[in-house]
C-alpha cells in the first residue's frame, strides 16, 4: 500500500493522543503512513482542505471543527447528519470528501466494553458536539430519558434537537449544571472541562452507577476520581474506539485495537500531572 498522509485538526490540538494511536496502528501493520497534529482554528478548515494534495487520505477533527465540517463534506453519513457533526473526513480517490462521525459508535463501544448494565436514563453534562454524539450513543444503547445539563440552556438547543430526532424518540429535558438535586440516573456522561467539575457537581453525580468521563487529559478529573467502585468509562476508551473506526475508514484495513490502546496508555502514563 502506497504511503499516505492523515492528521488530526483542531484548536487546541497539541495535547491530542490521536497521532500516538494512529502511528501505533501503522507500525503494527507495517504501513508507511504519516499522521500529525495540525492547529486549525474555527473558520480555518476550508482553507486547510484547499491546501491538501493527493497524498492525503484522512482527517480526524476535534474542537471547534466538528460542526464546521458538515457544510464542507460532499457526502455525509446518516449518523453524522443525525449528530450534526463530523469528526472524520475521508479524501476519496474519486476526489469526493466523505464525512462521518465515529464518536457516536465509538462511545457506544466504549460503554459496552466496560459494562452490560441496562442504561435507561442518562444525564449529559455539557451541550456541545461531543455531548450530542455521546447522548445519541446512549439512545442507541437503550436510554429513553436524557437530561442535558448546561450553564446556559439556550446554548444546548442544537444538541437537544439532535437527541430528540433519534429514531427511538427519547424524552429529552434540559437543566442547569449548577444545582443540588442528585442525578438519580443510570449513567452520567461528562463533556465539561475539569475546572467546571465542582465538588457540588461531583456530589450530584454520586447516585449514578456508571460514569462516562470523555476527557483523558488531565486525568483523573474530579468526576473520574470520585468513581470508587462504580463503572468508569474513560476518555481514552472513547478515543481508542473512535480512532479504531477512523483507522478502518482511512486504510481499509482492520485496526489493531490493542496495539493502539497500549500506545495511548503508555503516552498518558508518561505525561506529567497537571
Catalytically annotated residues: 66
Cβ neighbours for 157, distance < 8 A, ≥ 6 positions apart:
none
Place of cell 488531565: 218
Residue 214, SS3 per DSSP: coil
DSSP-H helix ranges across the chain = 18-29, 45-50, 78-83, 103-114, 129-140, 157-164, 199-204, 222-225, 235-251, 257-269
Q: What is the DSSP secondary structure assignment for residue 194, as one 8-state letter?
A: G
- Which strands sit side by side in the sheet containing 75-76, from one edge to the other? 34-39, 5-10, 56-61, 88-91, 97-100, 75-76
Amino acid at each position: 500500500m502506497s504511503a499516505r498522509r492523515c492528521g488530526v485538526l483542531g484548536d487546541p490540538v497539541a495535547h491530542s493522543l490521536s497521532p500516538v494511536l494512529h502511528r501505533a496502528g501503522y507500525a503494527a501493520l507495517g504501513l508507511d503512513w504519516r499522521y500529525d497534529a495540525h492547529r486549525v482554528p474555527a473558520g480555518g478548515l476550508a482553507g486547510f482542505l484547499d491546501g491538501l494534495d493527493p497524498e492525503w487520505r484522512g482527517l480526524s477533527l476535534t474542537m471547534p471543527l466538528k460542526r464546521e465540517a458538515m457544510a464542507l463534506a460532499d457526502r455525509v453519513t446518516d449518523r453524522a447528519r443525525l449528530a450534526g457533526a463530523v469528526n472524520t473526513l475521508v479524501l476519496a480517490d474519486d476526489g469526493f470528501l466523505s464525512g462521518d462521525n465515529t464518536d457516536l459508535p465509538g462511545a457506544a463501544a466504549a460503554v459496552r466494553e466496560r459494562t452490560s448494565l441496562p442504561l435507561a436514563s442518562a444525564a449529559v453534562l455539557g451541550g456541545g458536539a461531543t455531548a450530542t454524539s455521546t447522548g445519541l450513543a446512549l439512545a442507541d444503547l437503550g436510554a429513553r430519558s436524557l437530561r442535558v445539563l448546561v450553564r446556559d440552556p439556550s446554548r444546548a438547543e442544537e444538541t437537544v434537537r439532535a437527541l430528540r430526532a433519534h429514531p427511538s424518540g427519547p424524552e429529552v429535558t434540559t437543566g442547569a449544571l449548577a444545582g443540588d438535586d442528585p442525578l438519580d440516573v443510570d449513567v452520567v456522561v461528562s463533556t465539561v472541562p475539569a475546572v467546571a467539575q465542582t465538588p457540588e457537581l461531583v456530589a450530584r453525580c454520586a447516585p449514578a452507577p456508571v460514569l462516562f468521563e470523555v476527557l483523558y487529559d488531565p486525568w483523573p478529573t474530579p468526576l473520574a476520581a470520585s468513581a470508587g467502585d462504580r463503572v468508569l468509562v474513560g476518555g481514552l476508551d472513547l478515543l481508542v474506539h473512535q480512532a479504531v473506526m477512523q483507522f478502518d475508514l482511512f486504510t481499509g484495513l482492520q485496526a489493531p485495537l490493542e496495539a493502539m490502546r497500549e500506545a495511548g496508555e503508555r503516552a498518558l502514563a508518561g505525561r506529567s500531572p497537571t
